[in-house]
């Protein structure tokens, strides 16, 4: 296969027409995996460090470094808050992981998470105008088990170099303790994107989906399939935003959550799941078949599909059913199959299907909003404010069943969201600095435009090479041959 002239915009057109919908979906999944390996090898990763200050002759190093920089150290010593003005700390996020649950691939060893953590830093910069650095740590103790206390200690020690911490891909139950302890004991925001970020964006999508089906949050029956950090936090945030927990049922790998689950009650590490056992599923429904009868919403974040969620489950849902199947890289059921089973609105975590419910439109704006006001933490109210901002922005530009939420390409969603988060931080009393909504919006927008212009200038100047055509064509050929 030669000279396909593949661009990522014409991928669908180059997949053989005789392939079934499922085969086409498999080709796309395999293509992006193959392309990722080839592209990361070609570029040796995707992030680098570049100066933000000029070098107008070598004498400037007397100010950027010694002897002049001594005054920076003593100034910060006298008032630590000046570190936000005299260094890049105020716009710098550490993306911290022990790589024990990387996407759907499980424990990838500490360096195995670097691709994802660099990806988070990439998105933070390009979408939110925020600098990020990937830090993958070994959390194993002497017994060989992953110890949450090691991550906690590391972050507490490193927090003075950053304006915020983004936790990522830490397996449960350790992720619960790591987040809860660090949120309270650190003096900067600690954000767990797999949990809070997924919850924020899912809530945004749900708000708009419910508008389209003319249903109210407090009235709907919600089934949660999967009870990991993401779905457990989604349930908590959705309940805080107005859903009735007594009308919801959650399933983990063992079965339905309810007050009879002594295995969860007895394991104190899973205290977040036990909290949900106490407020959901009062009738102690045990099976998915029964739970899905007349359900209005299914939110699945379990394991990659495509046959994890059954068509017959969706068939018994209520009128105009809303189905979120957000496992990565393959949703629990393909959107076309969910639609065939009667779903009215289907969302996934992937950008090559309609209605991508993905953290990428959440965390860049949320972290930017928190950083601009030098917040001490990110409250649940701030996460809900971000979700409502995304939903409102999306509704204003128009929503329909195949487009319920803004996309990454809609750049103004990020400063809009950041400004609302900043205002909520001020309202919640966790901000060190105050500003107006318009000031926050303008600052975030300027920083985002600067980040994008810098990237484009590097491309235009030849400092970032364009991907060779054979890289794209070869990745597609490999994917098609694997499926054929």
Q: Which of 24, 26, 28, 120 is catalytic?
A: 120
43 is catalytic: no
The C-alpha angle 52, 55, 57, rounded to 5 degrees, equals 175
CA 21 to chain centre: 27
The C-alpha angle 247, 249, 254, rounded to 5 degrees, equals 165
User: Helix, strand, coil proportions of the chain in percent (round to 5)?
Assistant: 50, 10, 40
First to last CA, the chain: 14
Longest CA–CA separation in the chain, Å? 75
Measured from the Cβ of residue 447, the count of other Cβ atoms closer than 10 Å reads 22
User: Minimal CA–CA distance to 433: which of 182, 91, 191?
Assistant: 91
Phi, psi of 46 (to 5 degrees): -135, 5
Report the C-alpha gap between 140 and 126 in whole angstroms: 33
The answer to whether the beta carbons of residues 387 and 420 sit under 8 Å apart is no
Report the C-alpha gap between 373 and 254 in whole angstroms: 43
Q: Which of 43, 65, 216, 268 is catalytic?
A: 65
H-type helices in 319-408, by residue range? Answer: 335-340, 363-372, 380-397
Report the C-alpha gap between 220 and 211 in whole angstroms: 12
Q: How many Å is the Cα radius of gyration of the chain?
A: 23
Kind and range of the H or E run holding 4: none
120 is catalytic: yes
Report the C-alpha gap between 393 and 414 in whole angstroms: 10
Report the C-alpha gap between 50 and 47 in whole angstroms: 10
Catalytic residues: 65, 120
């Amino acid at each position: 296969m030669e000279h396909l002239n593949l661009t990522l915009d014409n991928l669908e057109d180059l997949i053989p027409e005789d392939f079934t919908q499922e085969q086409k979906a498999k080709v796309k999944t395999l293509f992006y995996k193959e392309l990722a390996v080839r592209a990361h090898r070609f570029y040796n990763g995707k992030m680098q460090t570049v100066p933000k200050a000029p070098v107008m002759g070598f004498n400037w190093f007397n100010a950027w470094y010694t002897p002049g920089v001594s005054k920076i150290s003593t100034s910060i010593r006298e008032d630590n808050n000046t570190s936000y003005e005299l260094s890049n700390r105020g716009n710098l996020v550490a993306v911290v992981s022990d790589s024990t649950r990387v996407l759907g691939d499980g424990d990838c060893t500490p360096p195995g998470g670097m691709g994802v953590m660099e990806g988070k830093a990439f998105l933070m910069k390009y979408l939110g105008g925020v600098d990020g650095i990937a830090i993958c740590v070994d959390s194993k103790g002497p017994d060989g088990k992953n110890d949450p206390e090691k991550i906690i200690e590391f972050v507490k020690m490193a927090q003075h170099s950053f304006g915020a911490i983004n936790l990522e891909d830490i397996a449960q139950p350790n992720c619960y303790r790591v987040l809860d302890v660090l949120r309270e004991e650190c003096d900067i925001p600690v954000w767990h994107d797999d949990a809070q970020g997924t919850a924020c964006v899912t809530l945004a999508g749900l708000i708009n989906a419910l508008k389209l089906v003319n249903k109210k949050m407090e009235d709907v029956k919600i089934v949660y399939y999967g009870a990991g950090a993401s779905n457990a936090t989604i349930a908590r945030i959705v309940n805080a935003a107005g859903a009735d927990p007594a009308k919801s049922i959650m399933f983990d790998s063992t079965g339905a959550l309810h007050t009879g689950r002594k295995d969860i009650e007895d394991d104190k590490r899973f205290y977040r799941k036990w909290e949900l056992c106490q407020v959901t599923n009062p009738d102690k429904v045990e099976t998915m078949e029964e739970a899905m009868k007349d359900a209005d919403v299914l939110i699945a974040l379990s394991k990659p599909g495509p046959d994890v969620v059954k068509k017959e489950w969706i068939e018994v849902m209520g009128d105009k059913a809303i189905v979120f199947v957000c496992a990565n890289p393959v949703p629990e059921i393909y959107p076309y199959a969910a639609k065939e089973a009667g779903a009215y609105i289907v969302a996934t975590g992937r950008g090559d299907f309609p209605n991508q419910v993905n953290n990428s439109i959440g965390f860049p704006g949320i972290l930017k909003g928190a950083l601009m006001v030098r917040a001490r933490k990110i409250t649940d109210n701030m996460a809900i404010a971000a979700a409502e901002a995304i939903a409102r922005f999306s509704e204003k530009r128009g929503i329909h069943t195949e487009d319920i939420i803004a996309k990454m390409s809609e750049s103004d969603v990020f400063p809009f969201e950041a400004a609302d988060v900043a205002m909520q931080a001020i309202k919640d009393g966790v901000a060190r600095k105050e500003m107006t909504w318009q000031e926050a919006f303008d600052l975030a927008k300027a920083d985002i435009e600067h980040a994008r212009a810098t990237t484009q200038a590097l491309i235009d100047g030849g400092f970032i090479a364009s991907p060779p055509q054979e890289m794209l064509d070869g990745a597609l050929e490999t994917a098609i041959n694997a499926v054929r």
